[in-house]
């Protein structure tokens, strides 16, 4: 089944990196429940309300349909080396996620580990969380002091999960590691059917939780970038402080990726630690 979890020596960390856990609850409220942490991996270029809504939808789903207890939620922006069109520098994406998630919620955090280094596969990213949360921090405890491992679970939209059936995008061993060992919550996304997304993943069905969108909303980062380029307002599609940040830094005004950090940002420490890499073009999605 699932491959072995990685140990400290298997991970590379950006300089000055510290695992953020200031909002991670380490005591279980209900000892009968299984503690989990949600991790959303993505470009977040820029982060939108839909990215943040995914966490709230998962929270409702977990409370109503499962025996899990959520102890924290993380956004993990992808590395610059992912080289997806429209991917702004890691520095800006981490800053925007930090403004958008940490200032608008009481339980979300942004982990810059993935963003400020070489491209890391999602299986490795989940192992990184598992290592820090369970090995370094020691997992959760019940009120009686009993230690419990916290299960890391991937939070994604149905478009991402549908790529799991596309040949060459994910390796079988990574899928088995992500879906067999950890598990996932899949949020319905307009234009990307849930059944079609999960048909070929049936062997892991017990670890795949499907969350329907009760209020249809198809905001995407691509549309936000397009609006900005055309001089249209994006206010109320994303958190106000993220809109302000985009305007102040003149982001997304040009076509395609704008990987450069503006002059005034150069040499500054990123909001959540780590250092920016100017990456050469490289392959993606190994």
Ligand X SMILES: Nc1ncnc2c1ncn2[C@@H]1O[C@H](COP(=O)(O)OP(=O)(O)OP(=O)(O)O)[C@@H](O)[C@H]1O
Ligand Y SMILES: NC(=O)c1ccc[n+]([C@@H]2O[C@H](COP(=O)(O)O)[C@@H](O)[C@H]2O)c1
Give the binding site for ligand X (CB under 6 A): 40, 42-45, 50-51, 54, 86, 156-157, 159-160, 187, 189, 217-222
Q: How many residues bind ligand Y (CB under 6 A)?
A: 16
Minimum CB–partner distance for residue 237 and ligand X (Å):
10
Nearest CB to ligand X, comparing residues 25 and 190 = 190
**Host H or E run for residue 91:** helix 90-97
Could you say whether residue 43 binds ligand Y (CB under 6 A)? yes
The partner in contact with residue 220, picked from ligand X, ligand Y, none with C-beta cut-offs of 5 to 8 angstroms by kind, is ligand X
Which partner in ligand Y, ligand X, none is near 189 (CB below 5 to 8 A by kind)?
A: ligand X
Nearest CA among 89, 71, 92, 72 for reference residue 80: 89
SS3 277: coil
Query: Could you check whether the bond before residue 46 is cis, i.e. omega within 30 degrees of 0?
Result: yes
**What's the min distance (Å) between Cβ of 217 and ligand X?**
6
* Phi, psi values for residue 201, rounded to 5°: -105, 20
Residue showing tokens 């999602």: 122
Binding to ligand Y in span 119-138, by CB under 6 A: 121-123
Q: Using the minimum distance from each CB to ligand Y, give the nearer residue, 84 or 277.
A: 84
- Length of the chain measured in residues: 286
CA–CA separation, 154 and 37 (whole Å): 9
Residues 74-103 within binding reach of ligand Y (CB under 6 A): 78, 82, 84
- Greatest Cα pair distance, the chain, in angstroms, is 58
Tell me which residues touch ligand Y (CB under 6 A): 41-43, 78, 82, 84, 121-123, 160, 163, 169-170, 174, 285-286
């Amino acid at each position: 089944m699932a491959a072995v979890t990685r140990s400290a020596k298997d991970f590379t960390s950006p300089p000055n990196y510290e695992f953020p856990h200031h909002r991670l609850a380490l005591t279980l409220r209900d000892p009968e429940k299984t503690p989990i942490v949600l991790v959303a991996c993505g470009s977040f270029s820029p982060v939108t309300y839909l990215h943040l809504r995914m966490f709230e939808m998962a929270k409702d789903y977990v409370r109503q349909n499962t025996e899990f207890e959520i102890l924290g939620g993380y956004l993990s922006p992808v590395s610059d080396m992912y080289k997806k069109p429209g991917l702004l520098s890691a520095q800006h994406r981490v800053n925007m996620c930090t403004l958008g998630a940490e200032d608008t919620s009481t339980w979300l955090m942004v982990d810059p580990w993935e963003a400020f280094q070489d491209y890391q596969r999602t299986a490795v990213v989940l192992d990184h969380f598992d290592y820090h949360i369970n090995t370094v921090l020691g997992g959760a405890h019940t009120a009686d002091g009993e230690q419990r491992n916290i299960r890391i679970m991937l939070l994604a939209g149905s478009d991402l999960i549908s790529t799991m059936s596309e040949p060459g995008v994910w390796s079988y061993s990574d899928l088995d590691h992500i879906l067999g060992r950890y598990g996932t919550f899949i949020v319905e996304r307009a234009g990307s059917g849930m059944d079609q997304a999960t048909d070929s993943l049936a062997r892991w069905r017990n670890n795949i939780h499907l969350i329907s969108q009760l209020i249809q909303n198809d905001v995407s980062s691509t549309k936000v970038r397009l609006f900005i380029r055309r001089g249209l307002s994006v206010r109320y599609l994303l958190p106000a402080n993220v809109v302000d940040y985009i305007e102040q830094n003149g982001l997304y005004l040009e076509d395609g990726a704008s990987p450069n950090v503006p002059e005034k940002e150069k040499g500054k420490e990123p909001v959540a630690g780590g250092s920016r890499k100017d990456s050469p073009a490289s392959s993606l999605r190994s």
